[in-house]
Structure 1
Amino acid sequence: MPQKLSAIWHAHLGELADDVHQQYVNNVGNITLIRHNQGLGNRSFQEKRALYLGRSGLQVTQNYVVDQEVWDDQAIQRRQIYLVKLLVKHALLLPGRFQYSSNWNQVGSRSSQFDSRQVLNRLIGEAIQFISQPTITARVVGDSKVLFEGKEWNLSPLTRELKLRDGTNTRSGAYQGALYWSWDDTRLIDLE
């Protein structure tokens, strides 16, 4: 959202455009690092999104921006939540007991639902390690796929296969793959 609203942005944001603009223009969810920012100006969101794909340089700049169809208060709020979680989890390194206390998190309690697609999407191109045998690695090739021994796998079936190979499989044979794999010495389930 630009510093000054054009007619295109007024139409895009609707009747409450001025109120939405005043409330969200300086929100962290609307602020991003991008090369050639001056050239973006009051362009439409669709034009800006196309430029972000080629010029942002940083993956964090593209996350929760280029996958949006519209840029409005809800999109900005989603991106704000993502950026705050990213900062708290990886930059500020607050102790776990403070991360979800009411003294800073105004969004509610942590979701009990793990989203492996979101985590794997951030790790595309990275190698992950099988925790029980760190010499076993797989390369993340998509938000739901890893490459192992020349074949693409979903994480849970690959985990089951490795457990079968070493004879440590459970009776049910069901595994939540993110519990058994790590990246940068952190279990994938703890990266969300």
Structure 2
Amino acid sequence: MWSFRRPRAGHYTGIVRLPREGTGPLLDLLRRDMGATAGLSPEFDRLDRAGRALRLAEQTLPAGRGEAAASDDRLTEILLVGRPDIAGRIVAVHLGPVPATGAEREVLLGTLRVWLDNGCSAARAAEALYCHRNTVLNRIARICELTGVPPESAAARLGWSLALRALPLVKAAETSGAGFAND
């Protein structure tokens, strides 16, 4: 693959001429051989689109994550990074007191994530979490009790999904004491 890269404010930016297979081989190469955080923009065919592509690539992953991802796979996170005020409200409105539950926090949030990722199936989530189906149902019931919404609600499921994606972004902004820049 032909490429050009240059240092820029503590990181590298570059342009790569993709093979016929598209971005897959490049993403594999970045994941396997680089070991650094790398965001990959959508393909573009004109040089005047490079600036927009660069912004998308830079917003794909927070610095220091040590992983590579394509921006098209992380559009929700890119949207949330661009609006930290909205990301914070999504967490507050849809998760409510769940992030502040102390010892329960990680178990509840982890169960919710796995349950949503498995089509809201308690059986599949239980298998992925190596626990009993009733344990998953009890944890989801606890989340519903804390948030005041039923698990059957499509709006609640969407809100929970967005909030889980926003939570690391909000948490990172709070712990670093820094805000997000927005062009």
TM score, norm. by length of structure 2: 0.35
Larger Rg: 1
Which gives a bigger RCO, structure 1 or 2 (Cα 8 Å, sep 6+)?
Answer: 2
